[in-house]
Structure 1
Amino acid sequence: MLELIFSALITIVPDYLYRHYKQGKRFGHEINLFTVWYELRWGITSCAVLAITLLTVIFYFHPTTTNVTSLFRTVSILSDRPGRVEEVYVLDNEFVRAGEPIFRLDTQRQQAAAETARRRIAEVDAAATVAQAELAAAEGNIVSSESQLKQSQDELTRRQDLAGRNQNVVSEQELERLRLTVDGLSGSLDAIKAQRDAIQARLRVLLPAQRASAEAALTQAETEIEKSTVYAGTNGTVRQFKLKPGDLVNPILRPAGILVPEGSGRGRFQAGFGQISAQILHLGTIVEITCASKPLEVIPMAVTEIQRVIAGGQLRPTDQLIDIQDRARPGTILTVLEPIYAGHANYVPPGSRCIGVAYSNHDKAIKAGEISGFSAFLTRIVDGMGIANALVIRIQSLLLPVKVLVFPN
């Protein structure tokens, strides 16, 4: 409307004044509804062309968007395993700090497993004590067997010496009996040594391995007990949290609630501009926004980040070939906005939907000499045209409460 009024002031109005005062034609007589087109055809045509040109220039160099939102992060409250709720520590809409417990699952089975592992450790320790006693007994048996074997060997040697001097003194049967005794004692000694080695292997390898296995089972059970308590990972407010003792929680089916981190989404907005504005938007571009959650106020923002890819063009491998014509939505240029004045947008609730206007500013380029002469003059005019959108967004900010409260959709 402002562009049309401006175009009429320099086209239709001078044309009408010329015909009324210079040619003496009167509105409603010579210039009426039937002759207005013929009489003012040049002014009407020029006004339409100029208005369309102004609209194109203004909306290209000062793009507008209705897609401005302060996105905020949420954290799902999940347990590591399914189970029944034993105790709940917080209430819905309660603020929690990082590390504070939220709820605890039933741990009877895990505590039984931990107690079993402790009993197993005690059993292994007892077995080690018994094995030590068995090892001491085996060592004593070895000493006793070695003594008996040495005695039998000495007896056999002595009898063999006597038989060598006089064969009638010692019979061959007695020598054979002594040899068998020596062999038996030698075998018994080997068996006792093997038994000692087995006991040592049990003490050195088997029992430590069994104890380590029991300790690992105990650690696993204690870890499961610790994981049964769900803690807050960050400062925030608990939302949609309706757990009661006895409820069944399953991390696969649904979360127990949602944690909204403290400060998430505040003072930071995301705006989606049309793709035709890709060459206009840059870091530092001034954007003014107004939000329904904070009416009657225009908040100056600055572009701090620009996503260099358009989300509508992303592709993931599937079992079907993608047809480009199926991509109905062209996508937008995503920009991140932050307030120019610190704290100016703190009262805008995260998730608010806003509208925004961006303004071109070529002042630095002109001062740096990158744009000069007539181009600089035209560029100054283009930058100044942003006042039209500035007026529009302020009018929208004023009319927004009336539109929402008096004329709702």
Structure 2
Amino acid sequence: MFELLLCSMLTVFPDYLFRRYVQDKRLGRDINLYTVWYELRWGITACLLLTVSLITLIFYYHPSTKNVTAIFRTVTILPETTGRVAEVFVGLNAKVKAGDPLFRLDSSEQEAAKETALRQIDEATAATAVAQTELAAADGLIQQAQGAYQQALDELATRQELLRRKADVSVREVERLQITADGRKGALDAAVANKRTIETRLSSLLPAQKASAEAALAQAQVELNKTLVRAGVAGTVQQFTLRPGDVVNTMIRPAGILVPLEAGRVALIAGFGQIEAQVMKKGMIAEATCIGKPFTIIPMVVTDVQDVIAAGQLRPTDQLIDVGQIAQGGTLTVFLEALYPGQLEGLPPGSSCIANAYTNNHDALAAKDIGTGKSVFLHVVDTVGLVHAMILRMQALMLPVQTLVFGGH
């Protein structure tokens, strides 16, 4: 309607002035309801053509959409393990900070596993002390075996020397002493081997057993920590009706929802028509007005344009999908952020908005090799953006009226 009124001032109104002051045709006498088309046919035709062209030009180079929402992501409150709730620390709609405890599951099994690991560590420590005592005893046995072996060797040497001198010593007695020395040598080797076994147990086996017990303790502590569920981010707890005794399942029964503090307060997500895919660019200036913040125009900037249309996505199944089964064409997803900090404060996350994006040809107009025709066209494109800005402000004024009066809310 605004475009039609503007175009009529440039076409129909001059045509009427020509008929009135040049041809002396008066409104209501020569120009009436039955002759208006014939008398003002040139102005009306030009008005319609100019209106259609202007609307096409405005909505293509300065796109608008009502599919704008302050989308926010929620965090599902879930423990890492299934269990029965033992204690709840927060209530519904509670404000929490990152790291605050939310609820605790029954931890009797995890505490028993931790206690078992502690006892295994104590057992490994005690076994180390016993092995050290055994090592000291092994040193004594080695000394004892060395003494006995040395005594046997000395007696054997004496008997052999007497036998060599033809003394009163029999060969049988020398052989018996040789066997005794060999036996005591074996006892000494056994005592040394026993010491090495104890040393190996002290240096390798017992530390490994203790390390395994400490690893089991760490694992038990991790499992015990999982029973205490904390807030991952700062925000508000919603739909949190958990009570002691409830069973929480990690797959089918979450405990509640956590809405992050900054959720929906950073950017707006807009869905523009696919025809604007060649116009929408990162860095474009935009404006938005939201029903959650009436009578307010929020200056914004396009920070990103999604390079795919979400409606065309395909999930592999066991059946071939016909293109005709896909829903109607989707929109071009555009991310809008406030041009100045704090402008989205007070806007409830999830609010519905209306947004305009404006094409800026300043760099193209500043080029030295630009032609006259293109320069005039780009000036026109930038100028008609003012019309769309005025339309957005009219929508901002009428939006509360349409919602409260005509919407029946």
Normalising by structure 2, what TM-score?
A: 0.86
Q: Mark the CA change 1:244 to 1:11 in structure 2 (over 3 Å): closer, same or farther.
A: same
Contact 1:104 1:230 in 2 (8 A): yes
Unaligned runs of 5+ in 2: none
207-216 vs 266-275, which moves further = 266-275
Aligned counterpart, 1:379: 378
Structure 1 match to 2:143? 143
Corresponding residue number in structure 2 for 1:336: 335
Aligned pairs for 1:242-281 (under 5 A) are 242-281=241-280
Hey, what does 2:232 align to over in structure 1?
233
Paired position in structure 2 for 1:350: 349
1:289–1:355 contact (8 Å) kept in structure 2: yes
Q: Is the 8 A contact 1:68 1:356 kept in 2?
A: yes
Matched position secondary structure for 2:160? helix
Are the counterparts in 2 of residues 287 and 359 from structure 1 also a CA contact under 8 Å? yes
The number of aligned residues is 407
Q: Distance in 2 between matches of 1:77 and 1:373?
A: 62
Residues of 1 paired with 2:307 and 2:400: CA distance?
36
Q: How far apart are 1:369 and its partner, in Å?
A: 4.9
Give the aligned residue type for 1:119: R
Aligned residue identity for 2:115: E
2:166: which partner in 1?
A: 166
**Maintained 8 Å contact 2:153/2:181:** yes
1:99-138 superposed matches below 5 A: 99-138=99-138
- How big is each residue's C-alpha offset from its partner over 1:248-281, in whole Å with a ceiling of 9 and x where there is no partner? 2222324322222222321421222222223333
Secondary structure of 2:347's counterpart equals: coil
State the distance in 1 between where 2:342 and 2:162 align. Answer: 116
1:199-246 per-residue CA deviation (whole Å, 9 max, x = no partner) reads 222112111111111111111112222232222222222222222222
Contact kept? 1:70, 1:270, Cα under 8 Å? yes
Structure 1 window deviating more from structure 2 (352-361 vs 305-314): it is 305-314
SS for the counterpart of 1:397 is helix
1:306-338 deviation line (CA, Å, top 9, x unaligned): 334444455666666666555544333333223
Amino acid at match of 1:297: T
Once residues 31 and 230 of structure 2 are traced to their aligned partners in structure 1, the CA distance between those partners, rounded to angstroms, is 85
Q: Deviations 1:126-179 (Å, cap 9, x if unpaired)?
A: 222222222222221221122122222222222222233336x22343333323
Contact 1:241 1:257 in 2 (8 A): yes
Kept after mapping to 2: 8 A contact 1:20/1:27: no
**Does the 8 Å CA contact 1:82/1:250 hold for their aligned counterparts?**
yes
Write the mapping of 1:299-338 to structure 2, written as runs, cut at 5 A.
299-313=298-312, 326-338=325-337
CA distance in 1, matches of 2:125, 2:26: 120
Partner of 1:289: 288
Q: Deviations over 1:39-74 (max 9, x none)?
A: 655554433323222221121122110111122232
| 8 Å contact kept, 1:267–1:346 | no
Query: For residues 27 and 242 of structure 2, what CA distance do their matches in structure 1 show?
Result: 81
Secondary structure, counterpart of 1:385 in structure 2: helix
**CA shift at 1:190, angstroms?**
2.1
TM-score, normalised relative to structure 1: 0.86
In the other structure, the counterpart of 1:90 is: 90
Displacement after TM superposition at 1:352 (Å): 0.9
1:181 aligns with 2:197: no
Does structure 2 conserve the Cα–Cα contact (< 8 Å) formed by 1:121 and 1:215? yes
Instruction: Give, as a single letter, the amino acid of the residue that structure 1 aligns with 2:102.
Output: I
Amino acid at match of 1:396: Q
1:74-119 C-alpha deviation (Å, 9 max, x unpaired): 2222322222222222222111122222222222111111111111
The Cα of 1:15 is off from its aligned counterpart by: 5.4
| Gaps in structure 1 of 5+ consecutive residues | none
Q: SS where residue 199 of structure 1 aligns? A: helix
Distance in 1 between residues matched to 2:64 and 2:329, nearest whole Å: 17
In structure 1, the residue matched to 2:67 is 67
The CA distance in 1 between the partners of 2:70 and 2:404, in whole Å, is 23
CA distance in 2, matches of 1:91, 1:30: 75
> What residue identity is the alignment partner of 1:99?
G
What residue number does 1:80 align with?
80
State yes or no: 1:198 paired with 2:206: no
TM-aligned CA distance change 1:195 to 1:24, over 3 Å: closer
Q: Indicate how the Cα distance of structure 1 residues 214 and 370 shifts in structure 2: closer, same or farther if over 3 A, else same.
A: same
What SS does structure 2 have at the residue aligned with 1:278? helix
Name the CA shift for 1:149/1:345 in 2 (closer, same or farther; >3 Å). closer
Q: Partner residue of 1:46?
A: 46
Residues 183, 329 of structure 1: alpha-carbon distance in 2 compared, 3 angstrom cutoff: same
Report the Cα offset of residue 351 of structure 1. Answer: 1.4
C-alpha distance in 2, partners of 1:408/1:99? 44
Distance 1:131 1:4, change over 3 A: same
Distance in 2 (alpha carbons) for counterparts of 1:71 and 1:337: 11
Q: Which amino acid aligns with 1:397?
A: A
Q: SS at 1:349's partner residue?
A: coil
Q: Look up the SS of the partner of 1:296 in the other structure.
A: strand
Pair 1:180–1:51, CA change in 2 (3 A): same
- 1:151 maps to amino acid: Q
The range that moved more, 360-369 or 152-161, is 360-369
Identity of matched residues, %? 51
Alpha carbons 1:361, 1:383 under 8 Å: kept = yes
| Structure 1 residues 170 and 264: CA distance shift in structure 2, 3 A | same
Distance 1:268 1:350 in 2: 10
Q: Secondary structure at the match of 2:142?
A: helix
Contact 1:266 1:350 in 2 (8 A): yes
Q: For residue 396 of structure 1, give the secondary structure of its aligned residue in structure 2.
A: helix
RMSD between aligned residues: 3.1
Structure 2 vs 1, CA of residues 239 and 217 (structure 1 numbering), >3 Å: closer, same or farther?
same
